[in-house]
Amino acid sequence: MSLRLILADRLVESIERNVDASITQAHLATVKRRRDEIRSGMVEAVDGEEALARVRASLRA
């Protein structure tokens, strides 16, 4: 395993240990709600690069 992967794993582990359970539950609820919105067609998923381009364009306007 590369040094970068080991470092990334350790960083994630350190964050996970310090996360409040109520925050984790709230995050999970948000993720599930957004998943359901996409599945139902209520919203459309946007590629990350496209989303960033939209944000940058709105900031220039």
Domain edges within the chain: 3-60
Q: What is the DSSP letter of 42?
A: S
Query: Does 19 have pLDDT greater than 80?
Result: no
- Residue 25: per-residue pLDDT: 87
Q: CA 51, CA 57: separation in Å to the nearest integer?
A: 10
At 3, list the tokens.
Answer: 């040094």
Query: Does 1 have pLDDT greater than 70?
Result: no
| Greater model confidence, 33 or 15 | 33
At 15, list the tokens.
Answer: 């964050």
**Global confidence as pTM:** 0.55
Question: With pLDDT > 70 as the criterion, what percentage of the chain qualifies?
Answer: 98
Query: Does 29 have pLDDT greater than 70?
Result: yes
Query: Does 30 have pLDDT greater than 70?
Result: yes
